Every structure is written in structure tokens, then in C-alpha cells.
Amino acid sequence: MSLFGGVFSRGGADINDEAWLQALLDAEAGLARAVERAGLAPAGSGAEVTRAAVAADFDIAGLGRLSALTGNPVPGLARALSRRVSATAARAVHRGATSQDIMDTAAMLLARRALDASRADLERAADAAAHLAATHRGSVMIGRTQLQQAVPVTFGVVAAGWLSGLDAAIDGVAAAREARLAVQFGGATGTLASLGAGGDRVKALFAEEVGLPDPALPWHTERLRIIDVAIAMARVTAALGKIARDVALLAQTEVAEVAEGPGDGPGEGRAEARAEAPAHGAAQRPAHGPARGAAHGPAHGTGHTNGTAPRRGGSSAAPNKANPVAAVAILGCARQVPGLVATVVASAEQEHQRAAGAWHAEWQPFTDILRLASSAAAWGAELLTGLQVDTARMAANLASAGGLPLAERVTALLATVLGGPQAHELVASAAARAASSGLPLRDVLLAAPELEERLDEAGITPGQIEAALDPAGYLGSSADFITAALRAHDQARACDG
């Protein structure tokens, strides 16, 4: 665990130097087995190389220093691996390969690992979002546009929007996992000339041994596979970043409509360590329900005091604070990814049969994208499975608005009497007076002398005005949208199953 690993290296993917080294060794071992199966190395060579290909037995720092001599760590690794096996088995090590073959294949193995871990966490997050959408189908709250109060929504439709984004991110991860991973094996210039007529067979066997698809031809300077994986992971952080931003805003002290759960203890990072979200089948879909957990979230954490470990959300300076750690961590991951993707895309312009620098420029940003997206997915699963929703606070915040979020609906009612422009002007003026005076919009409207007579003539009663100011009656197609999102989610999971 690095100093920042608890935030930016969370979850099960563990994309770090050790993982990279093991992926490189797995690629070398898979190639050795393929070479043996093709009859180009003595029997038993592949198994012997595989037994020796254990990252813990190699000096990462030493390999890093050697990479300065050759521009990448593979030549030093191949020599170190050869020294750990018999002279006979050494004939199978790195046979027919160039450094990029091993590096790119290892990158694909790491990508597979990250995609799988991210998908598992995203699916947990999506199931939790589905549960929130179903549970809070009728939990009315203020809708906000450009950070200002707008018309009412339900928390259920907010969670349904989160769910839709998560399901789309899962689709992207699955597509990249299925169609964009591939072994890379081309030798010095992509012809595998050193293997003679058997090169294509070794490539196919190599792909089989490492469990990656066998592409039609080597892709050493055609980098769309790397870009597509990077973009799939960027979609992950984009979907999670939207959720995290919403949670951070809704968790503000002045709003307090949601709160994060207590989360994992120190040293625990796997989403699997937490309880599963309740099922969201038909039997578990009430129209609305109470907030999960305490009304105002978990007890506030404190900083590190008297030798005790800090609590989730605590501040080193302000003991009253309960910071939304998971949301902040997701946003920290998500903010880094777009710039890293830009570097990966810019690196796709590669010269001839081997790039002079552009390929090298991919390594760290691609690794960071995998690590950060995987971490964000793990944080997202934790955030949504533990999210506490305060429906009473939502109702109180909505009531404190004095009917202003329903101004649009009142305008529509009055437009039938006054016409659209005049109704809009009158309600806007009344809303301004209500906001400045602190009076409810209802009282200001019904006290307007220029309106009273026109309302009487049109037969519009104070009761109708009050009904127009009822937020529960102005939710449009929210329930239908929630149902559609849940149906699409259930169908996608059924297909996956």
C-alpha cells in the first residue's frame, strides 16, 4: 500500500508495480508454453519457466534500474528469468518476441484484471442504486438546476438517473472486455520472421495460453485497443463522478438530505467485505419508504486523538465534521482520468513499426487509468450500498421553499386565465416578493389585488391555487422513468446471468 493507496488504489484490481511485474512474467511464461506446444522448445520447458515466473522472487528496483539501459524493463526481466531456469528451458524464454510484445500483452492482462474488478463493483453499485430508486419512488425533494431550486423531483428518479449511468458504464466495460483485449505478438517488426513459417501458430497458442483473444495480426503501432480500454474506464469514472458530486452536494450541512454510511475500517478496501444491498425485485418495491439508517447520517467522526485511529469522515482540525469521504475519493479519481486519457490518445500517433517515445508515454497514464477507475468503482459500491437518505429533511427543505419550486405549475394554471406572458410576469413578481419577504408564495398570490378579480371571474379558487402548490402533484413522468430504468437494469442483469 502506497501513501495514497487507500484513496486511489482501492478495490480488488491492485494495479501496481508488483501486478505489472507479474503480468510481464505471466506473458513470458505463456509464451514459453506456446513455444513448447509448437515444437520449438524441449518438453517441460514451458512448465519450468512458469514455475520460475513468480514476481516475489524478482527485484523490482533492480529491474527498474536496468530499464534505463534498454528503455523498458523487459530485456532485464527476460535475462533474469532465463537465469532462474535450466539452460534447456531458457531456450523457450522470450522466443521470437520483442519487448513490446511482452509489455503490450501484460498491459492487456492488467486491463482484464481491472475491467473484471471494476465491473463487479459497478454491478454492486448499480444494484444499490436500483434499490434506492425503488425504495424512494415517492420521496419528494427539491430539484436543482444550476445549483438553484427548480421544480420538485423524487429521490427515486435521481437514483434512477444514477442507475442508468452505471448500467451504461457496465456495458462499456463489458464491451471492452469482450472485444478489445488481445494478445500482442509480432517480433521485431510485426512479421515474426525469427519463427519462420510457425509464427502465426505460436501467436495463436500464445493467445490461448494467456487467455486473450488472438487478433488477425500484430497491433504494435495500431493503438486503438489501448484507447478503447482507456475510454471504457473513463466512462466508469464519469458515471461515478456524477453520483459523487450529487452526494457531496446533498450531504452539505445546510442541505443534509443524504449522508454516507460508516464505511470500511482501516485497511479494508474490498467491496466484497460489505453486506449486499437488498434485492430490488417486485416484492421489495414499495412506493416509498423511510430513510435507511439514522435520520441525519452516522455520528460525526473526529480526527486522530489520544492515539486512537481516526474515524471515517473525521477532520484533523474540526471534530464536528463528517466529511463525505467516499464521494470525495471518487471525485479525486475522476478528476485525474480525462488528462490521462488525453495522453493515451495523443500517444496513438506512432512511427512505422515501433514508436520512438509515444509507446513509452502510454505506460504510466494507462496504468493510472486502470488503477483510478478500479478504485472509483470500489468506492462507488461502498458509497451507494451504505448511503443514508433523510426523507424528512428532504420534505423540510422543500417546505421551507414556501412554494417557490411550484411557480411553474401555478403559471400554467393562471395562463388559462391571463395568457402565458402575463401569467409568467405576475408569478415572477409574486415569487420575488415572496423571496424577499419570507412569505409563502400562496399568500403573496392570493393577496395580489390585480389577480383576485380575474381569478373569481375564471372560477379559480384558493383551493386550486393551493393544489397547484402541492409538490406531490407535480412530478410528471417520474414514476414511469423509474420503472423504465429498473426494468432495463433487470433485463441487463438477466442477460448477464
Q: What is the pLDDT of residues 65-90, one digit of tens each?
A: 999 999 999 999 999 999 999 999 99
The full DSSP string for 87-143 is: HHHHTTTTTT--HHHHHHHHHHHHHHHHHHHHHHHHHHHHHHHHHHHHHTTT-EEEE
Pairing state between β 258-259 and 148-154: unpaired
Query: Percentages helix, strand, coil for the chain, rounded to the nearest 5?
Result: 65, 5, 35
> From its phi and psi, is residue 459 left (phi > 0), alpha (psi between -120 and 50) or beta?
left
Q: What is the pLDDT of residues 323-365, one digit of tens each?
A: 999 999 999 999 999 999 999 999 999 999 999 999 999 999 9
Cβ atoms of 260 and 323 within 8 Å: the answer is: no
Q: What is the pLDDT of residues 432-484, one digit of tens each?
A: 989 899 999 888 888 877 677 777 777 788 888 889 999 999 999 999 999 99
Q: What is the pLDDT of residues 134-192, one digit of tens each?
A: 999 999 999 999 999 999 999 999 999 999 999 999 999 999 999 999 999 999 999 99
User: Rounded mean pLDDT of 101-110?
Assistant: 98
State residue 157's pLDDT score. 98
Q: Is the pLDDT of residue 296 over 50?
A: no
State residue 308's pLDDT score. 53
State residue 310's pLDDT score. 53
Q: In whole numbers, what is the pLDDT of the chain averaged over residues?
A: 88
Instruction: State the catalytic residues.
Output: 315, 354
Q: What is the pLDDT of residues 309-318, one digit of tens each?
A: 555 565 455 5
Torsion of CA 270, 276, 277, 283, to 10 degrees: 160
State residue 357's pLDDT score. 95
State residue 454's pLDDT score. 73
Q: Is the pLDDT of residue 53 over 90?
A: yes
State residue 13's pLDDT score. 82
Domain ranges of the chain: 99-190+211-392, 404-468
User: Rounded mean pLDDT of 90-102?
Assistant: 97
Lowest mean pLDDT among 185-194, 216-225, 288-297, 370-379: 288-297
Q: Of 180, 183, 224, whose CA–CA distance to 348 is shortest?
A: 224
Q: What is the pLDDT of residues 32-44, one digit of tens each?
A: 999 999 999 999 9
Lowest mean pLDDT among 239-253, 294-308, 481-495: 294-308
Of residues 119 and 270, more confidence is placed in 119
Q: Is the pLDDT of residue 256 over 80?
A: yes
Q: Is the pLDDT of residue 233 over 80?
A: yes
Specify the CATH number for 99-190+211-392; select among 1.20.200.10, 2.40.110.10, 3.40.50.1580, 3.40.50.10860.
1.20.200.10
Of residues 306 and 42, more confidence is placed in 42
User: Rounded mean pLDDT of 127-138?
Assistant: 98
Q: Is the pLDDT of residue 292 over 80?
A: no
